[in-house]
C-alpha cells in the first residue's frame, strides 16, 4: 500500500465519519419548536430512527472501510427521502415530515453514495 493510497483511504474515512456525525447530530432537530421561523428541518420520531440507522451504517463503513456499507447508508437515506417526497401532503405519511425532511435525507443519501464511489475508485499505484 502506497502512501497516496493510504492518504486517499484516510480522506474517505474522515468524510464518512463527518457525514455520520452530521446525520446523528441532525436528530436533535426533533427538539426544535414547531415555529417555522426557527425550524431548520422537520424531524419526526420516524425520521430520527432513519437518521440514526444511516449514522450507524455510515460509522461502521468508515470504521471497517467496507464500501458496501456506504451504499447501504446512502440507499436507506435516499429511499426514505423519495418515500417522504411522494407521501408529503397525503393522508398517509409514514415518516411524517415535509419537504425539508426529504431534502435532509436526500443530502445524506447523495453524500454516502458519493463516498461509496470514492471508496471504490481505482487508486494510482505510482
Cell readout for 118 is 470514492
Judge contact between 105 and 46, C-beta under 8 A: no
The pLDDT profile of the chain, 126 residues, written as one tens digit per residue, is 456 668 889 999 999 999 999 999 999 988 877 766 667 888 999 999 999 999 999 999 999 999 999 999 999 999 999 999 999 888 989 999 999 999 999 999 999 999 999 999 887 655
Helix, strand, coil tally for the chain in percent (to 5): 75, 0, 25
Per-residue pLDDT at 124: 67
- Residue spans of beta strands (DSSP E) within 3-101: none
pLDDT at 60: 97
pTM above 0.85, yes or no: yes
Amino acid at each position: 500500500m502506497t502512501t497516496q493510497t493510504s492518504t486517499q483511504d484516510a480522506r474517505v474515512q474522515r468524510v464518512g465519519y463527518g457525514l455520520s456525525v452530521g446525520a446523528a447530530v441532525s436528530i436533535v432537530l426533533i427538539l426544535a419548536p414547531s415555529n417555522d421561523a426557527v425550524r431548520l428541518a422537520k424531524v419526526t420520531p420516524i425520521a430520527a430512527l432513519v437518521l440514526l440507522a444511516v449514522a450507524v451504517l455510515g460509522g461502521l463503513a468508515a470504521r471497517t472501510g467496507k464500501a458496501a456499507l456506504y451504499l447501504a447508508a446512502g440507499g436507506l437515506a435516499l429511499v426514505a427521502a423519495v418515500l417522504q417526497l411522494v407521501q408529503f401532503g397525503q393522508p398517509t405519511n409514514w415518516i411524517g415530515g415535509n419537504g425539508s425532511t426529504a431534502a435532509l435525507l436526500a443530502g445524506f443519501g447523495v453524500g454516502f453514495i458519493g463516498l461509496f464511489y470514492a471508496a471504490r475508485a481505482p487508486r494510482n499505484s505510482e
